Amino acid sequence: MYVNVLPFEASSPAASPLRQRAVGRVALGAMSINGQTRPDRIAESGSMRIRLPRGEGCGLDAVIVNTAGGIACGDLFSVEIDVQAGSVVTVATPAAEKVYRSDGPVAELSVKLSLGSDSRLDWIPQETLLFDRARLARRLDAEVAPDARLTLFEAVVFGRAARAEHVTQGFFEDRWRIRRGERLVYADALRLEGPIADLLKKPSVADGARALATLVHVAPDAESRLESVRQHLSLNSGCEAAASAWNGLLAVRFCARSIEALRSAICPFLLAFRGEPLPRVWLS
């Protein structure tokens, strides 16, 4: 598990009180039987659960649920998804994941994905919402077979719009590492610390946007989809996006003024890109 604990300057001389923190882990293995994807292994512990709603088609839909109701300071969570040869899996979450204010410790989330030959995994959780003074370190590692197809989508929102909240202080680190055929093909890191709202106002960072999203697609035909992807970027006045492709990868970045503007852009985009409906939890 990725560990990154940074010193915290407390607002008072008193040390942060010790609290019982949430620790959760889920692991799912999927295998193909007669052209149908079925669960091969399920493991749950702590406050993490995984549910498999009945879906249409030959693939397997999985929903990750955090029964702790969010992520607080010092919480530790891990997710492992193993998609075996020929399997098709879609992973989502039932709602936005809230990251609450921290009085010091950094919460950690580790995601490990493995894709076997001729498999497909769509990792499309709903957005992560950071409260003011939230502190979160997140790491995603993926091992992808050369002929497998992986779609990763993650969105993060800074501050609760309904409360006109800004992240005046906080910490957010997001690290992605994708290996294809045991070779590192994609490495990305985002790190924001301190007055995040002020950092996001800088033109070189987000130019005032408060909702960011990234899609990375790894597949044998990823580069050939670039022009069609650009045509499906139906954006609005509150959201900007750009797409690029190289070395068997396709990446799309979204930058929006609000979660509403982001969702109005990404929902039709994901629908067109995947060629099938979004998981039902996205519509609830």
Range 252-263 average pLDDT? 94
Q: In this predicted structure, what is the pLDDT of residue 19?
A: 66
The confidence band for 18, taking pLDDT boundaries of 50, 70 and 90, is low
Question: How many helices (DSSP H) and strands (DSSP E) are in the chain?
Answer: 3, 17
CA distances from 9 to 71, 199, 200, 240 (A): 21, 19, 22, 35
What is the SS3 assignment for 266?
Answer: helix
126-157 pLDDT, tens digit each:
999 999 999 999 999 999 999 999 999 999 99
Question: Model-level pTM?
Answer: 0.90
Q: In this predicted structure, what is the pLDDT of residue 17?
A: 57
149-201 pLDDT, tens digit each:
999 999 999 999 888 899 999 999 999 999 999 899 999 999 999 999 999 99
Q: In this predicted structure, what is the pLDDT of residue 47?
A: 93
Residue whose C-alpha is closest to residue 86's, from 117, 128, 49: 117
Phi and psi of 37, rounded to 5°?
-85, 130
DSSP letter assigned to residue 163: G
Q: In this predicted structure, what is the pLDDT of residue 8?
A: 36
* Model confidence at 13: pLDDT above 80: no
39-97 pLDDT, tens digit each:
999 999 999 999 998 877 789 999 999 998 899 989 999 999 999 999 999 999 999 99
Give the CB-side neighbour count of residue 134, counting CA atoms within 13 A.
Answer: 30
Distance CA(84)–CA(34), nearest Å, equals 14
CA distances from 210 to 107, 159, 241, 242 (A): 21, 8, 14, 17
What is the SS3 assignment for 213?
Answer: strand
